[in-house]
Amino acid sequence: MSKYLFADAGLIDTVCLPDVAGANTAQTAGGFVAPKDIVITSVYLVADSAITGQDTNTITVSLRNYGSSGTGTSDIASYTFTSGKNVGARVPLALSLSSTDVAQGEVLGEVLSLVGTGMTYPKHRLEIIYKYK
């Protein structure tokens, strides 16, 4: 993981997951630990190649807050690739935020939830943009 500082955006950290072939199991990656109490301002998915959504066999990508014990189930942001929801190669795609406060020591990670037989999913990363409280 790497950190970058942008004047107005805050800090950025990344969580990466390799290629995932369609399979009916969840995939997880990452292990960003909040260095202080933070507020997530945005989360972007950046894929190495294009992703074309579909309805029957699809995928939801989420950034999950596992808490300080690693057992949490709250999603901070997510996006489901249904029909018409696509993204181009290396084009940042904003995930929908649902929760933004993260306490110091809480662990964030990526979860891929597959529907049906899932879908082929390219190597990608999540960019987590946050500010200190």
Q: Is 15 left (phi over 0), alpha (psi -120 to 50) or beta?
A: beta
Q: Domain containing 15: what range? A: 4-132
Give 15's pLDDT tier (boundaries 50, 70, 90): low
Residue 27 burial (CB count, 10 A)? 18
Task: Write phi, then psi, for 121 (nearest 5 degrees).
Answer: -130, 125
Handedness of CA 34, 36, 37, 40 (dihedral sign): negative
In the predicted model, is pLDDT for residue 12 greater than 90? no
pLDDT (tens digit per residue) in 31-69: 789 999 999 999 999 888 899 999 888 889 999 999 998
CATH code for position 47: 2.60.120
- Structurally, the chain folds into a number of domains equal to 1
Share the mean pLDDT of the chain: 83
74-80 sheet: strands from edge to edge: 27-33, 107-115, 58-67, 74-80, 96-97
